[in-house]
Amino acid sequence: MQRAFVTGAAGFIASNLVDHLLAEGASVVGWDNLSTGQERFLASALTSPSFRLVRGDTLDREGMAAAMRGCDIVYHLAANADVRDGWNHPDKDLQQNTIATFHVLEAMRAAGVRRIVFSSTGSVYGEALVTPDRPTPETDAFPIQTSLYAASKVAGEALISAYAEGGQLDEAYIFRFVSILGERYTHGHVFDFYRQLLEHPDWLRILGDGRQRKSYLYVGDCISAIQRVVTLATAREAKHRTQVYNLGTPEYVEVNDSVRTLCTSLNLQPELRYTGGDRGWVGDNPFIFLDTRKIQATGWKPACTIREGLVRTLRWLESNRWVYDSRHPA
């Protein structure tokens, strides 16, 4: 049974992962500085004798090493996930993503933990250089980065693979996510759209022209994919100890499709006000659609469509409006 160390444990995806691991019978040490994570997301986990939450920062290498001693796998999900706002605080991605990942790796070395799962992002493909308009495979062309967030995730991936290929880790699993939807979702376009519609149900501001095509994945499917790979331990028989998987659904939608789904579900007909241009913000990629044949070859399949993921997210936000009260990164 796994003894797991989860960074960013009180975050959206990580708290769902913690619940899943506990349900499977694992023991879990959660690490979070609660700067953006929500202790409420761990309410259920905290009732389990197999769970321990340690409040700490991913820049505290020694603290992490001490807390992860005895664990056999690290799920490094802590990150600055504020993709759009990089230029207002360019240090943040470097510190909280690149340098923090280095500290996680050094803590693992000190504590003798030799397996890691890392949450990366489909944004690392930048704008696909060679053949746009087809799903991007893991082996796509060496990309040009378009955001500080993606640059910091590339740096994290590079560090992790250098540690693994350099013999410092036995197994490294890098997952490049599309945007994740579902319970405890606290930032992204559904979060923004629903906040707007709470404030002014008669109109909706949409970044760009609404034609940006994106793929999304339901958080439960994201976690089942990760656990499928970790259970199969695919790195053990591969040429490289570093295994990279795209995580997404084999479909995409336009932002306008999302808007329609949300408005129908809320029974609203707001006036749509577009900010214009073909992308939502500097560094936004107008087409994110990952080739997921590699993860599907493990036998994993998503249980939810994008539409179902959107509706579940909205239902959760409707029942948890408190997330709009606390200080969240938008």
Site residues (CB under 8 A) for its own copies?
86-87, 90-91, 94, 98-99, 102, 106, 124-126, 129-130, 138-148, 150-152, 154-155, 157-159, 161-162, 165-168, 240, 242, 244, 282-283
Residue closer to its own copies (CB basis): 66 or 162: 162
Residue closer to its own copies (CB basis): 165 or 251: 165
Nearest to 138 by CA among 181, 174, 180, 97: 174
Helix (H) or strand (E) holding 231: helix 219-232
In angstroms, give the least distance from the CB of 140 to its own copies: 6
Phi and psi (nearest 5°) for 304? -110, 140
Provide the token pair at 275.
Answer: 């900010």
218 an active-site residue? no
In angstroms, give the least distance from the CB of 64 to its own copies: 15
* Annotated catalytic residue, options 125, 149, 216, 252: 149
Q: Tokens 């082996």 map to which residue?
A: 139
Nearest to 66 by CA among 112, 10, 9, 17: 112
In angstroms, give the least distance from the CB of 60 to its own copies: 15
Q: What is the C-alpha separation between 212 and 278, in angstroms, rounded? A: 7
Residue closer to its own copies (CB basis): 81 or 154: 154
Q: What is the C-alpha separation between 93 and 148, in angstroms, rounded? A: 6
Residue closer to its own copies (CB basis): 171 or 221: 171
In angstroms, give the least distance from the CB of 148 to its own copies: 5
In angstroms, give the least distance from the CB of 121 to its own copies: 12
Classify each residue of 205-243 as buried b or exposed e, where b means 16 or more C-beta atoms within 10 Å of its C-beta: ebbbbbebbbbbbbbbbbbebbbbbbeeebbeeeeebbb
Residue closer to its own copies (CB basis): 19 or 157: 157
Catalogue the active-site residues.
Answer: 149
